[in-house]
């Protein structure tokens, strides 16, 4: 058996899911798992198909940024085909699945920074990117990309040292990629099925969000909004109370905390 088959089999043997990860493609290195997943989705692969890469050479981040995926990180993309009405919940489902998996596998408390960063003690440990293809009012497919800093020292990467951390750094011990990936996929499927059955996932998302109640600044392209992060709407939008008392509904943006 090759190393790739080994890793695929190890993850799948632990998976207790109906469809997520039943088809799993592991590669030691890829430019980005997003493109590999898109190619599979274009060919009509089954819902729940997962692509995992050991490292990425052209990892994609949100808003056209790049994403660092050195050895020791976890980079995966999951293909889902939700009804259009559940599309806004994907970001909630993905970030909550990561928070739950980190707790179960590494014993660490992580929190969500709106909309989809997962943080430990104020530093980013995971980024999530969602891409989708909607045609004629229904979803062809959505791809959830999840990148977790698992076992590497962020001090080795000066470009992220100040803003990022890793699970091994916070836990003081190495964390199994295989167990983490399996747990994450199980939690993701559980939340996805619950959301489709009508569960209010945005409530748990809200409870795990460190952004709320803080004075924040949101960069939205060239515009900047400032105010108190009040709550999140059911569709995932952030409601921000400006100093003049008016309410801004933020659909997309880059949040930084001004004051706790
Ligand atoms: C962000 O915080 O900007 C989102 C980062 C998303 C990174 C993941 S790693 C797996 C998948 N493949 C990519 O190229 N990007 C996502």
Q: Distance from the CA of 144 to the center of ligand 1, in angstroms?
A: 9
Find the 83 Cα to ligand 1 centroid distance in Å: 23
Distance 129 CA to ligand 1 centre (A): 5
Q: What is the pLDDT of residue 47?
A: 98
Ligand 1 site-directed mutation target among 66, 75, 115, 184, most atoms within 8 Å of CB: 75
- Does the Cβ of 127 fall within 6 Å of ligand 1? yes
Per-residue pLDDT band at 28 (split at 50, 70, 90): very high
Range 102-120 average pLDDT: 97
- Mean pLDDT of the 227-255 span: 94
249: tokens are 């509904």
Question: Is the shortest distance between the CB of 60 and ligand 1 below 6 Å?
Answer: yes
**Per-residue pLDDT, 14:** 86
Mean pLDDT, residues 234-241: 94
Mutate to test the pocket of ligand 1, among 113, 147, 159 (most ligand atoms within 8 A of CB): 147
Q: Does 32 contact ligand 1 (Cβ within 6 A)?
A: yes
Whether the CB of 145 sits within 6 Å of ligand 1: yes
pLDDT of 171 > 60? The answer is yes
Q: What pLDDT is attached to residue 136?
A: 83
Q: Count of alpha carbons within 13 Å of 208, Cβ hemisphere only? A: 26
In the predicted model, what is the mean pLDDT of residues 67-77? Answer: 96
Judge whether residue 138 has pLDDT over 90: no
Residue 25 in this model has a pLDDT that exceeds 70:
yes
Over residues 58-69, the mean pLDDT reads 94
What is the mean pLDDT of the segment spanning 85-103? 96
Displacement of CA 5 from its chain's centroid (Å): 25
Task: Name, in order, each residue with C-beta under 8 angstroms of 139's C-beta and a sequence gap of 6 or more.
Answer: 81, 82, 83, 84, 87, 132, 133
What are the strands, taking DSSP E only, across the chain? 24-30, 50-56, 73-80, 111-113, 117-120, 123-135, 138-149, 215-220, 223-232, 238-241, 247-250, 254-259
- The per-residue pLDDT of the chain, averaged, comes to 94
Decide if 205 contacts 95 (C-beta within 8 A): yes
Q: Which of 120, 97, 100 is nearest to 191 (CA)?
A: 97
Percent of the chain with pLDDT over 70: 99
Token pair listed for 230:
């009040």
Give the model confidence (pLDDT) of 191-212 as tens digits: 999 999 999 999 999 999 999 9
- CA separation for the pair 258, 260 (Å, rounded): 7
Measure the CA dihedral 233/213/90/221, to 10°.
Answer: 90
Atom number, ligand 1, closest to the C-alpha of residue 74: 9
162 versus 221: which is more confidently predicted?
A: 162
* Separation of first and last alpha carbons in the chain: 52
User: Of the ranges 108-112, 139-143, 144-148, 256-260, which one carries the lowest mean pLDDT score?
Assistant: 256-260
Whole-number pLDDT of residue 1: 55
CA distance 260 to 255: 13
Residue 61 has pLDDT above 80, yes or no: yes
pTM for this prediction: 0.95
Average pLDDT rounded to a whole number, residues 40-44 = 97
Q: Is 56 in the pocket of ligand 1 (CB under 6 A)?
A: yes
Q: How would DSSP label each residue in 164-217?
A: B--HHHHHTS---HHHHHHHHHHHHHHHHHHHHTT--HHHHHHHTBTTTTSEEE
pLDDT at site 56 = 98
Exposure string (b/e) for 164-195, b if CB count within 10 Å is 16 or more?
bbbbbbbbeeebebbbbbbbbbbbbbbbbeeb
* Mean pLDDT calculated for residue range 230-238: 93
Centroid of ligand 1 to alpha carbon of 145 (angstroms) = 5
- Nearest of 43, 54, 51 to residue 21 by alpha carbon: 51
């Amino acid at each position: 058996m090759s190393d790739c088959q080994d890793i695929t089999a190890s993850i799948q043997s632990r998976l207790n899911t109906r469809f997520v990860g039943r088809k799993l493609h592991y590669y030691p290195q890829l430019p980005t798992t997003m493109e590999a997943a898109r190619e599979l989705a274009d060919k009509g692969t089954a819902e729940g198909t997962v692509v995992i890469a050991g490292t990425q050479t052209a990892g994609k981040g949100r808003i056209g940024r790049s994403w660092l995926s050195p050895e020791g990180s976890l980079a995966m993309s999951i293909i889902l085909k939700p009804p259009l009405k559940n599309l806004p919940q994907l970001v909630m489902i993905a970030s909550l699945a990561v928070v739950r998996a980190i707790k179960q596998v590494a014993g660490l408390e992580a929190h969500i920074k709106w909309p989809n960063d997962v943080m430990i003690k104020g530093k980013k440990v995971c980024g999530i990117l969602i891409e989708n293809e909607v045609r004629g009012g229904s979803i062809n497919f959505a791809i959830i990309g999840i990148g977790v800093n698992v076992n590497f020292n962020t001090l080795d990467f000066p470009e992220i040292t100040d803003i990022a951390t890793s699970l091994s750094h916070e836990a003081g011990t190495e964390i199994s990629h295989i167990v983490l990936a399996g747990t994450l996929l199980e939690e993701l499927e559980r939340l996805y099925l619950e959301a489709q059955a009508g569960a209010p996932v945005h409530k748990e998302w809200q409870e795990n969000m460190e952004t709320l109640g803080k004075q924040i600044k949101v960069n939205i392209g060239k515009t900047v909004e400032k105010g108190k992060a009040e709550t999140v709407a059911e569709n995932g939008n952030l409601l921000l109370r400006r100093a003049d008392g008016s309410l801004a509904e933020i659909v997309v943006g880059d949040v930084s905390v001004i004051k706790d």
